[in-house]
Amino acid sequence: MLKEHRSFITDLQKTLDIVITAGSFIAAYFVKRHLLFGTYSELSNDPNYYIILLLIIIAWFISFKWNGMYMSYREQEFWQFFTTILKSSFMGMILVSIAMYVLHIQSISRLLMGIFLILNISLLTLSKFIVFKLLEKIRTDGLNTKNILIVGDKERAQQIIEVVEKHKATGYRILGCFGVDKEQLGKAVFNDHKVIGLVKDLEEYLKNNIVDELIFAMSLKKMKNGDRHLAFAESMGIKVRIIPDWELHYLMYRPNIAAVNFEEFLGVHTMALQSTPQNEGKMLIKHVGDFLGALILTIILLPVFIGIGIAIKVFSKGPVFYKQERLGMNGRRFMVYKFRTMIEHADELLKELAEMNEADGPAFKIKNDPRIIPWVGTFLRKTSLDELPQLFNVLRTEMSLVGPRPPIPKEVDEYSVWQRRRLSMKPGMTCLWQIAPRRNDLSFEDWMKLDLEYIDNWSLFNDFKILVLTAKAVLTGAGR
């Protein structure tokens, strides 16, 4: 997780930490009064313990925020979290002591506060440790990984490779390095990581490979056409990091789309350019909502699945489902599922119908496609019910409920650079194009612009609105 705008997930962590802190004080009170013996169990009735609990909640909330309790799990080590917990707890204790002095609250048991402090530190540490190890396990298993390409083959590139090698559980995967010296091709930069290309060929590599982040780890003045390469990566939606060399004045490029932030990458200070939604908390809500929504819809619509399957078998020979290779986020390949709406071997007839293509871009569309199954195929396409099996793709985390439609690889080969940025977000079952009036009459360029508009203005509310309008379009058969 990158150091980005604080969001819902951060608020959730804050709430959990405050609940743990409040629970620790209540537990300490119970231990002092009911589990200890003799004079150790005595508690004064003078202080209002509800007031003290409120002071603790306020003080710990302030100290958590002050000490940076909610830093990135991906890019930090656990001892840093533990240090922050200690600093926050002792700072909170100081703030509570000052508040009690100002409010003339006395007779509070030091033993009670000591038990509370021990419980609080222990439980906070345990909760952070569980989350930390869970995320490590997920990334070690090959999930939630990020592909990194490094531009540079000298000391700065070695530094990046070395820190990534030391933090394998972060899920970063180095593809290789690009340099400016032809003689360095194939040579090792650090350990098994080699120079796999030249900077002049960078754009071609970015087009044909899955790259999540691009790190510039060389002096900007040594890089020919550096501005152009940055603009190319930005237009594709690839996150860019620049290792500062204090020669940023050589960089004349000014981002048109990406937000610019100064971030730490595994302890290395970088300048980052990112043109996709940065609010990871809300994106997490989107992903969880996708999974739960797809699961619920699959269960509810099971009778519809069965009915459509029977209808397809009655009106046409062949399988019920149709699968096709598509490209997902940053060009990751996967098989998309649909109800079959065309006759068997329809793909083999594509070349014969190429001259009838009515689309103005790389996409292929015919209004009265002769390959469509009579009645059933027409109905499924008009209502978009043929897309329902993509709920399985959502459950497999290959797609979202809302997002740019997944293209076929052949189409992407013909994309302009700016159109490739639509691959920077996970594809969806529905999108702005899907709910546009007479969407099949839209030009290919307008379709692409709608997808980029969705990415640039993404929000949970917009997703909800698109889902509602999609349901309306399905029920009315509008849009085609």
Domains of the chain in sequence order:
8-140 (no CATH), 146-274 (3.40.50.720), 280-476 (no CATH)
Token code pair at residue 66:
């002050």
C-alpha–C-alpha distance, residues 330 and 327, integer Å:
8
Token code pair at residue 268:
């290395």
SS3 of the chain: helix, strand, coil, percent, to 5: 55, 15, 30
Bridge partners, 265 (sequence order): 268
Name which residue leads in pLDDT, 68 or 312: 312
C-alpha–C-alpha distance, residues 309 and 323, integer Å:
15
* pLDDT on residue 156: 81
* pLDDT tens-digit readout, 62-121: 888 888 787 666 666 677 788 889 988 989 989 988 888 888 877 677 788 889 999 999
Dihedral of CA atoms 195, 196, 199, 204 in degrees, nearest 10, equals -170
Does the pLDDT value for residue 312 go beyond 70? yes
Token code pair at residue 40:
């150790």
Does the pLDDT value for residue 421 go beyond 80? yes
* pLDDT on residue 151: 92
Element (H, E) at 271: strand 268-274
* pLDDT tens-digit readout, 374-392: 888 888 888 888 999 999 9
Would you tell me the crossing angle of helices 49-66 and 78-102 to the nearest 10 degrees? 140
Token code pair at residue 263:
């971030």
Predicted TM-score (pTM) above 0.85? no
C-alpha–C-alpha distance, residues 115 and 31, integer Å:
8
